Amino acid sequence: MATPHDTHGAFSWNELTTTDTKAARTFYGKLLGWQFQDMDMGPAGTYAVINVAGQGVGGITAVPPNAKGMPPTWGAYVTVDDVDAVVARVAGLGGQVLLAPTDIPTVGRFAAIRDPQGATISLITYAARN
């Protein structure tokens, strides 16, 4: 059975970028019963994977140092078969590439785009799972 991680065009991940990851974890954990699994991201710090019913459905991360002043925000990821090929079409459709395709070790390859109306979204091609 195909999952959102395997299906082109499906929303597959949600991520909170925030100034206080500890407070966010406390709030959402108590509010929604979320469990968290820490993932060491080296110099980027710790990434908290959100688990619901034992399945990773999203994450919580700190605002990166190069984005100081960025307000806390939720972002969505949509699965695509080939992130590089999809991103190559963005400008021709009136959109803008905000972050060129970038590898996330062991996870996959993603990019961030803005549509012609100004909304942002991330696209991701997940690494093959064994």
What is the residue-wise DSSP string for 26-89?
A: HHHHHHH--EEEEEE-GGG-EEEEEEETTEEEEEEEEPPGGGTTPPPEEEEEEE-S-HHHHHHH
Q: What is the mean pLDDT of residues 17-38?
A: 96
Q: Is the per-residue pLDDT at 129 higher than 90?
A: no
99-111 pLDDT, tens digit each: 999 999 889 999 9
Q: Is the per-residue pLDDT at 12 higher than 80?
A: yes
pLDDT, the chain, mean: 93
Q: Is the per-residue pLDDT at 23 higher than 90?
A: yes
pTM (two decimals): 0.86
Amino acid at 78: V
pLDDT band of residue 94 (cuts 50, 70, 90) is very high
Q: Is the per-residue pLDDT at 58 higher than 80?
A: yes
